[in-house]
Structure formats: structure tokens, C-alpha cells
Amino acid sequence: MADGISIEIESLAASGAQAKPGGDLVLFVGEDLALSPRAAEIAGPGAAELVARGASVERFKGKAQSALVLTAPSGLAVERLVVIGTGAEEASARDWAALGGYTSGKLGSRSATVVLEWPGTAPSSDEVAAFSLGARLRAYRFDRYKSKKSPEGEENGGGGRLTLLVPENAGLKKALRGAEGLAEGVILARELVNEPPNVLDPEEFARRASALEKLGVEIEVLDEKDMKKLGMRALLAVAQGSAKEARVVIMRWNGGEDASEAPVAFIGKGVTFDSGGVSIKGSGGMEDMKGDMAGAACVVGLMHALASRKAKVNALGAIGLVENMPDGKAQRPGDIVTSMSGQTIEIINTDAEGRLVLADVLWHVQQTYKPRFMIDLATLTGAILVALGQEFAGMFSNNDELAQRLSAAGEATGEKVWRMPLAPGFDKLIESKFADMKNTGGRHGGSATAAQFLKRYVNDVPWIHLDIAGVGMGSPATELNRSWGSGWGVRLLDRLVRDHYEA
């Protein structure tokens, strides 16, 4: 796994700190276009005047997310001088990850010296770490299956080297290690979502998740024989139409002071390809259904991030991995299956399969591990796209405190959630004449009835269901991501754990 960029850190206080010859030099200015004394010293005599003249010609005002690029600048031993605007915003209110992403995007695959300083307050260790995180995430690309790679120098081309000249701060090394591990977790999630379904079937997905053992994560892989013994008949009903066997992967990171303390738990839907089964989808856009495992990808990426920074928490990740296909052995509308909980489900639509997978995994986690809370993530319904577009994930919860904490983490990371309703009226829509419930309540309130279905498998455990159909795959381009698979949710959940659940 490669993030496409190499980042080195040097101290601005070092007497030899200077721009690397042959590459770019990056400076930051506000709307007054003033350089910090150290930036002006590193750039050399005449740099401030050069910036002022260039800004006048290009009408560069130093606004946030704007740049002035001067090629072969006179008197400077660099190929390009790249001046990034930071606007009038206070440093404490700045999105440092987005600034790092924007800077990385302007450099492409070029190497550069970045003077991370400007007049006023110097960036803190956490802010420098966030900048490096954004730079790494923006540089990611998925071109494994292209015989012709992107041309050298193309924006987001990756492969460049950044040397960050930063003020000396206590805790900087620790913050940078955490940011690097978090970037690796997001990129791992993106890799999984981007992989084609003929490569990433349930067994291969389980194998890649098992690689977390190298970081100290305990791994248990359940095959179909194991699941039959446990009674995971709802999950297995989804898998029975595929030639690919299902898997459930349990990942445990015991970083808390007491290994016996109840873990925080994250559960992911991992449908490695969703044809819809017998209720087959239309052909238009079906290729995107390779991304119907974005929830599981997020959980694997999160566990990587927590283990990489040795988070002081007991955390559990559980993913249900299946392929939903219309084989002659596939489940049919009208079938009734018995879930692990003993509750029976009438199958109305075989394309409402993700909730069947989650039902058994949720039940297994809450019964076996007695977690402090459970958060599940799933590309579950197209209805959430109608409601929230691609700006928010839909959040359904039975616990106000947990929901408020996750909302705050969303605001802090930019991976935002919007709380949606749970209500007894939605339960009525999934009542069945023949079983305990139906697996779909019809067209109206589709996201809410799906969440209400899942609620029947969590008992009294504090719980959140995140419907990430709009944000987990095919998400809009941002300063942090130019990939089809966004890795959404890794930063969100890492922040939640960091802020509230670490010892």
C-alpha cells in the first residue's frame, strides 16, 4: 500500500534549513501577501518583491485555496515558487487537512520544500500533522490496472517528495506518526473499495483484513461452516446464490489499560458485489456495485489506524463479507429465513440484502462481546441519496449522547452526519403476515425502515447505524480525495474514539 508521496520533516530553527535545489519552494501568505521573516530568509533577497509583482500581474489576492505559481523565478535556486493563499481566517479555524490537500494538488508529482510558517501564530503539532495527512490523502491514486500511468507532473500524479520546514513543537513526532497511520487507514479503505470484484471476493477481502495481525490486531475468520454452527442463516441466505463463499472477520485491538474491559465496536457491511440477486438490478451503473462493501472497508481502515497509533482503547471490528448473485441456488422473494437471533424474516426483495448481513453480525457482536456501543456502516439504501445527497451520511441512533458525539466528530473532520428518525410507525411498515418481519417496507421511508429493521438486532446496546450510500463510493472530488473510493468514515470514527473513548 502506497500513498504516492514521501514526506520529510525539518526544523525551521535549523541553521541549514533551506529550499532543496531543483524542486519547488512553497510559501504561504494571507490577504496582505506578507511573508514570515523565516520564509523570506529561506526564499532569499527579493522574494517578497517577486511575490508582490507576480500577485499584481495574476490578480492574486491571497484568498484561501488560491495559488500563485511563478516558474523559474529570478534569483531563486528553485524551478518554481508556489505561493499558497490562506485567506483572512484565524489559524485555529483553518482546515489544515484541506490546506495540505490543496498544496499537494498544486504540486502533483513534483518534489518541493514547504515552509509551513506565516506571520502570526506558528502551527501546532496537531496542525502540522493534519497538513501532512491532507497532503498524503490528496496524492493517492488507484491506477494498478492501467498499463499507461499518469504523465509525470500531472496534478495528483503522486510520487513526489515533500520536505516540510516547520517550527519545533512538543509532541510533533507522535502527532505525525498518528497522522501517517490514519492516512494509511483511509488509503487502505480506498484500495478495498476501488478493487474490481473479480479480485476482491469475500475470501480475498478476509485475507487482506487478516494482514492487520502484523500491527497486533487479533483476527478471527469465520467460514461458512462456522457461521452455520452459530446460526447466521440470514447472512448465509444472501451468499447462497454465489460461487464465492461468505466470510465474517472479527478484528480485536486490545489497547486499553484493562484487556477485559468492554470494547467499542464497529460493524461493516461487506457485499463485495451486489447484482441484486433474483431481484436483479438494472444494468445501468451495476459496475458500481463493487463498492457495496465500503462499510466493511471503513472498519478495516479504522482498525489499521487505531493499531498504527497504538490507541489506548479496546476496539472491535466485525465485517460480514458476501457476494449477492442470482444463481439457481439463490434465495427468492417469498422465502423465510431465520436469523441468528431466532427472529424470522420474509424476503420481499433479494436486493435488500445488506440488512440481512448486518443483522447476524450485529447480533453476534452484542451477544458475544458485550460492547460499550456499536456503530455499523453500510451502503444500504438509495433512499438516503434522495434525502441527503452526497453531503452527509444518514445517522440513525438509539442513544442521544453517542449521536451527539459522532455529530461533533463529523464537524471536526468534515465527514458529516445528519440524524434521521427512528419511530414505531416505521416498524409497522416491515410487519409480515408470515414471519416476524419483512426485509423491506416498500418505497416510502426506505432508509428509515432499513434502520428500524437493524434496531431489532441491537437490544439495549447504544447503537448508531450510518447509511453511507451517498458518501462511501463515487463521492464528489474534494481537496482530500480524487479517488472513486473515498475511504469515508475512517477519519470520522478515529476522531470519535480519540476524543471520547481512549484511556
Q: Write the CA distances from 368 to 37, 262, 436, 440, integer angstroms.
A: 60, 11, 23, 27
User: Beta strand 463-467 with 393-397: parallel, antiparallel or unpaired?
Assistant: antiparallel
Catalytic residues: 281, 355
Q: Which residue is listed with cell 516558474? A: 71
SS (H, E, C) 453-489: HHHCCCCCCCEEEEECCCCCECCCCCCCCCCCECCCC
Concatenate the DSSP letters of all residues of 26-68 into one string. EEEE-TT-PPPHHHHHHH-TTHHHHHHHHHHHHT----TT-EE
Concatenate the DSSP letters of all residues of 317-337 into one string. EEEEEEEE---TTS--TT-EE
- 86, 99 in Cβ contact below 8 A? yes
Q: At what angle are helices 294-308 and 202-210 packed, to 10 degrees?
A: 10
Binding-site residue numbers for Mn(2+) are: 269, 274, 292, 351, 353
Cell numbers found for residue 337? 429465513
User: Beta strand 80-85 with 67-71: parallel, antiparallel or unpaired?
Assistant: antiparallel
What φ, ψ does residue 336 adopt, rounded to 5°? -125, 125
Cell numbers found for residue 75? 534569483
**Number of neighbours of residue 484 by Cβ within 10 angstroms:** 16
Would you say how long the chain is, in residues? Answer: 503
Angle, alpha carbons 202-204-210 (nearest 5°): 105
State how far the Cα of 296 lies from the Cα of 429, in Å rounded to an integer.
28
State how far the Cα of 237 lies from the Cα of 392, in Å rounded to an integer.
31
Q: At what angle are helices 490-500 and 172-194 packed, to 10 degrees?
A: 140
State how far the Cα of 477 lies from the Cα of 412, in Å rounded to an integer.
19
466 Cβ contact partners less than 8 Å away, ≥ 6 residues apart: 295, 375, 376, 377, 378, 393, 394, 395, 417, 489
- Residue type for 456, please? R
**268-298 burial, b if ≥16 CB within 10 A, otherwise e?**
bbbbbbbbbbbbebeeeeeeebbbbbbbbbb
**CA nearest neighbour of 339 among 445, 458, 257:** 458
